[in-house]
Amino acid sequence: NPRHPTNWHARSYGLCSANIFGKRHFERLPDKTAGNYILKKGQSLTFRYRLYWHAGKGEAEKIEAQYREWVAAAPKKP
């Protein structure tokens, strides 16, 4: 994904979002165009995210196992 690792933000009303476009705000940059991502006509962009929700404190081994499973199943880059 562009700008990996992705910035995330959450709101009190339930929003939880990956946001590659908030660079200017997350990094407090003065450039108003920081965070823009421009595609030329005919170009496309694919995003792939996976969330792993769990109750309580996460166990490092289980989180690592879930990550490895996800990486193994991810489509290969062309």
Q: What is the pLDDT of residues 22-58, one digit of tens each?
A: 888 888 999 988 888 899 999 998 888 888 888 889 8
Q: How many CB atoms lie within 10 A of CB 19?
A: 14
**23 vs 29: CA distance, rounded Å:** 8
| Listed residue (74, 50, 52) closest to 63, CA to CA | 52
> What is the pTM for the complete model shown?
0.54
State the alpha helices, DSSP H only, in 1-78: 23-26, 60-73
Largest distance between two CA atoms of the chain: 46
